[in-house]
Amino acid sequence: MTQARSVSADSPASSANSFGIVIAGHGSRDPDAVQEFERLVALIRARAPQHVISHGYLEFSSPTISEAVSANLALGSTQIAVVPAVLLAARHAKNDMPAEVLTMARDYPAIDFHFGAPMNLHPQLLQLAQERIIAAEATSAQTIRRADTCLVLVGRGTTDPDANSEVSKLARMLEEGMGFGSAVVCYSGTAKPLVADGLRAAAQLGFARIVVLPFFLFDGVLVKRIYAAADDLQQSEPDLEILKAGYLGAHEHVADVIIERAREAVAGRADMNCSLCKYRVQIVGFEEQVGEPQRAHHLPVRGLLGKNTQVVDSPPPVAMPYVPHPIEAESFRIIAAGRDWSQFPVAHLTVLQRLVHTSGDFNAVDDIFLSPGAVETGIRALLRCKQIVTDVTMVQTGLKRALLEQLGIETWCGVHDRETHLMSAAQGITRSAAGMRRAFEKFGNDIVLAIGDAPTAIMEVTRLIREHGWRPQLVIGLPVGFVGTRESKDDLRRCLQVPRITNSGTRGGSPWAASVVNGLMIDAQNQLAGYVPD
């Protein structure tokens, strides 16, 4: 435990209102990006000499953020402002970096830690974007009015709609403030449209010039790809002038914004846009993420390049086979010995024996239908697509958490979402059917569907398959009941366009559907581990 320490009058931390600043960067595999970040740190030191300044990286590069904190404390700081050197508030600024600060606060209980806001759309950053655009225009020998120019603004792209929308806001502000004829927003990854699609869309608008502006702090792999995409478009559209504006870079404006964010943090004014944060309020399409715990996702690559310069050659982690609880193992020994399984393909046994375990009935498997290759296709889909959609939460909660985490599989059930309720009421369909329609729109084909409760969900799925070309990788349909159950399963069995697992009659239920998925996940995990059960 580190205690508060006395500071000499000569120390940079001796001022009554002084504090140490830790600049938390993302980190990169690209040495150009790391060098530019360190130039920015040097600029911040020159512009804020009264503060102890240290820097660390979230991923790949060294020093790590925790090492930067230790270095800052060693120079006499008794309070620390950790400022995320990122443009917008997304996962890194909302989860990963705060998790680092919480760990540091536990390690150093005598030190006051403050977490700053990201840079966001600060007026000085808008001015810097303006400078980059004007500098790009100056490289052209042509005189083309801004009204005849389309701005293409490229953001990083995240899973956070609030951060993505800020890129659109910036584009609108630059379009109106600088008089562009139009602006197109695209992203380097995760969000859509991607860079190539955005550039093609801009080229079709009929403008004489396109200015491509990467809304990035530093050079790196992604910025290089953006410029390469612009070059490719220029080759295919020789009559269209395409100018490449610079990214923000190590500039005085960026340094001043970071210093301002540090001072705001210590003063308790680190404002973030919590009113539209998907972790705090229900945002359309992201309702299930309200209250999601802050978990760091960067730990496997923290300081990675400093630990191992041969990252590409490092062996992948070894997958372990599924190990059942002793009671579970004994149950399956009894099930294996309890009937003749020789009539079933070996590839089907894990799924079928799971169904016997769930139902307590050896005869439950006699009317199970597995289309040719359904099990093998389902395993490949789980390993490749890593997305399971269920009709009700009971199926979702019946899936083995440990296997989901080991395989990196996400699950989704929309039956209780507000949009599902609205769609159900507006279109006169059940909520389960509406949930399937939303899955069709939200995920496309790269999913495994598990239906254990609602025959109407199966009927909607088969309708979308036949009438709209939906092609889920596997459809598991095992609802229980007497109203429409038998008919919906028969319809799924006749649906030849997709791999499917179902049964005849009225038996089934959410535990049955979850058991099939669990069996597939067990086989997938064993396949990764190279393990073949006896």
* Pairing status of strand 474-477 against strand 500-503: parallel
What is the pLDDT at residue 319? 84
Query: Predicted confidence band at 299 (pLDDT cuts at 50, 70, 90)?
Result: low
What is the pLDDT at residue 250? 97
What is the pLDDT at residue 1? 33
Judge whether 340 and 314 are in contact, CB under 8 Å.
Answer: no
pLDDT, tens digit, for every residue of 232-248? 999 999 999 999 999 99
Judge whether 447 and 472 are in contact, CB under 8 Å.
Answer: yes
Query: Predicted confidence band at 297 (pLDDT cuts at 50, 70, 90)?
Result: low
CB neighbours of residue 521 within 10 Å: 26
Catalytic-role residue among 26, 92, 298, 357? 357
Query: Predicted confidence band at 302 (pLDDT cuts at 50, 70, 90)?
Result: low
Q: What is the pTM of this model?
A: 0.73
pLDDT tops 90 at residue 445? yes
- Compute the distance between CA of residue 359 and CA of residue 353 in angstroms, rounded to an integer: 10
What is the pLDDT at residue 152? 98
Rounded (10°) angle between helices 31-47 and 252-266? 60
What is the pLDDT at residue 94? 84
**Count of residues in the chain:** 534
What is the pLDDT at residue 166? 95
What is the mean pLDDT of the segment spanning 441-457? 96
CA distances from 113 to 66, 122, 290 (A): 12, 24, 26
Map residue 153 onto helix, strand or coil.
strand
Sheet containing 112-115: order of strands: 53-57, 20-25, 79-84, 112-115
pLDDT, tens digit, for every residue of 257-292? 999 999 999 999 877 766 667 666 766 776 776 766
What is the mean pLDDT of the segment spanning 386-413? 96
**Token pair 């923000």 in the structure block, residue:** 248
- Compute the distance between CA of residue 210 and CA of residue 121 in angstroms, rounded to an integer: 23
What is the pLDDT at residue 7? 34
* 325 among known catalytic residues: no
Side-chain-side CA neighbours of 510 within 13 Å: the count stands at 14
pLDDT, tens digit, for every residue of 209-219? 999 999 999 99
What is the mean pLDDT of the segment spanning 29-51? 94
